[in-house]
């Protein structure tokens, strides 16, 4: 095995580990009717379950439900909060000081400078209803496969978390694939 791949062995050995330390990551806001409307408008998503409470009640829901495709709208923590620093510096391409969509941090993985999501799977278990407040629980490593690609050397990983509502009821399970890598140097790219 090449040396750079050996550096990923601690992550491979940690498959099945939950790296969240039990933290609940709450979405910025509770689910509210106006935000659902704004989500529906550009899509022209005309389903009365999402805007007519009487229709939602007729089908057994306590209030209108949010489209399943809006799940991340309700689970992402805020990118900014009053009193916090917005960016790491004043430079043109400065990164956000906090990024709720950043890669999972662990001392087991080798240092990488690049990251992107590769795929996502969601199992929807329970509808999202007006008034719900959602949180993500868990960051379980399901797989880690070191691989060199055209963009660099790194590892493809799959992470699983659960989405729960304010009553701790399971709403969804999310599996996100990522690629954490170090880009090839300029000289390597010219070969």
The tokens for 56 are 């939602």
Q: Quick one: pLDDT at residue 191?
A: 43
13 vs 155: CA distance, rounded Å? 13
The tens digit of pLDDT for each residue in 149-168 reads 999 999 999 999 999 999 99
Q: Over the chain, what is the mean pLDDT?
A: 90
Q: Quick one: pLDDT at residue 43?
A: 93
Identify the CA nearest to 68 among candidates 134, 155, 167. 134
Q: Quick one: pLDDT at residue 125?
A: 97
The tokens for 23 are 């933290």
Q: Quick one: pLDDT at residue 91?
A: 80
Distances (CA, A) of 49 to 59, 64, 135, 170: 8, 6, 23, 21
pLDDT band at 190 (very low <50, low <70, confident <90, very high): very low
Identify the CA nearest to 107 among candidates 17, 11, 180, 28. 11
Q: Quick one: pLDDT at residue 187?
A: 56
Q: Which residue has the tokens 């990118």?
A: 79
Contact 31, 66 (CB under 8 A): yes
Contact 137, 27 (CB under 8 A): no
Q: Is 0.95 topped by the overall pTM?
A: no
Pairing of strands 170-183, 114-124: antiparallel
The tens digit of pLDDT for each residue in 80-133 reads 778 877 777 788 767 676 666 666 788 899 999 888 999 999 999 999 999 999
151 vs 184: CA distance, rounded Å? 6
Q: Which domains does the chain have, with CATH numbers?
A: 3-26+99-189 (3.10.129)
When pLDDT is averaged across residues 31-38 and rounded to a whole number, the result is 96
Radius of gyration of the chain from Cα atoms? Answer: 20
At residue 8, does pLDDT exceed 70?
A: yes
Contact 66, 134 (CB under 8 A): no
């Amino acid at each position: 095995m090449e040396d750079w791949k050996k550096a990923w062995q601690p992550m491979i050995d940690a498959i099945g580990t939950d790296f969240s330390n039990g933290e609940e990551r709450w979405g910025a806001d509770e689910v509210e009717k106006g935000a659902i409307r704004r989500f529906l408008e550009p899509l022209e998503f005309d389903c009365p379950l999402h805007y007519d409470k009487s229709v939602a009640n007729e089908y057994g829901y306590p209030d209108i439900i949010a489209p399943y495709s809006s799940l991340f709208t309700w689970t992402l923590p805020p990118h900014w909060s009053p009193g916090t620093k917005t960016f790491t510096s004043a430079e043109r391409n400065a990164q956000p000081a906090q990024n709720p969509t950043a890669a999972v941090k662990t001392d087991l993985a080798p240092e990488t400078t690049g990251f992107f999501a590769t795929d996502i799977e969601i199992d929807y278990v329970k509808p999202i209803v007006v008034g719900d407040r959602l949180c993500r629980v868990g960051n379980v490593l399901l797989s880690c496969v070191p691989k060199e690609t055209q963009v660099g050397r790194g590892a493809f990983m799959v992470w699983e978390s659960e989405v729960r509502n304010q009553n701790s009821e399971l709403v969804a399970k999310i599996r996100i694939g990522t690629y954490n890598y170090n880009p090839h140097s300029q000289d390597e790219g010219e070969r």
